[in-house]
Structure 1
Amino acid sequence: MTTSEIKPGEQVKDVHFTEDSLSVDLMDGRTISVPLAWYPRLLHASPAQRQNWHVCGGGFGIHWPDIDEDLSTEGLLRGAPAPRNTMSHVA
């Protein structure tokens, strides 16, 4: 069985955006960059809404109150896009 252990260096330091990506700087010096299209709420949010974020979850999460979006460093490190509610499960 494989378990993912959260490490203190994986805490959020900063969040920034380009036109098509979300980047999260971690305390250990790494930067996670993912396509903004993976997170439709962030993709369709205004620049002001994207900039209004808070660190949560003991430092391992990011919350955008204006759009009710939450991401974790664990999910970002796994490369997990937002669930697609409109897509059926494909085996």
Structure 2
Amino acid sequence: MEDIYFEQDLFCLKVDGKLVKLPLAQVSKKLVSATEIQRNFFKISPSGYGIHWPLLDEDLSVDFMLKVN
């Protein structure tokens, strides 16, 4: 995972040089209702293929997000 950011109601991540933009509603209900601070406070797993939002108690895998796409 090379980059993660949000554009309005889109979750954007760059993996292996490929930029993927997903509607937040398809990714996580918790992220949809989260504040900007909550969304932007995340930790990437040591493997680089998982994301954890401690303030939301939410975990997502890159594999899951690529399947949503």
Report the counterpart of residue 33 of structure 2 in structure 1. Answer: 44
Listed as ranges, the gaps of 5+ residues in structure 1 are 1-11, 81-91
* Equivalent of residue 29 in structure 1, options 10, 14, 17: 17
Structure-2-length-normalised TM-score: 0.88
Provide the TM-score with structure 1 as the length reference: 0.69
Bigger Cα Rg: 1
Aligned-pair identity (%):
35
- Count of residues paired in the alignment: 68
List structure 1 segments (4+ residues) > 4 angstroms apart after TM superposition: none
1:60 is the counterpart of 2:38 = no
* Larger fraction in strand: 2
CA RMSD of aligned residues (A): 1.4
Q: When you count helix as a share of all residues, which structure comes out higher?
A: 2
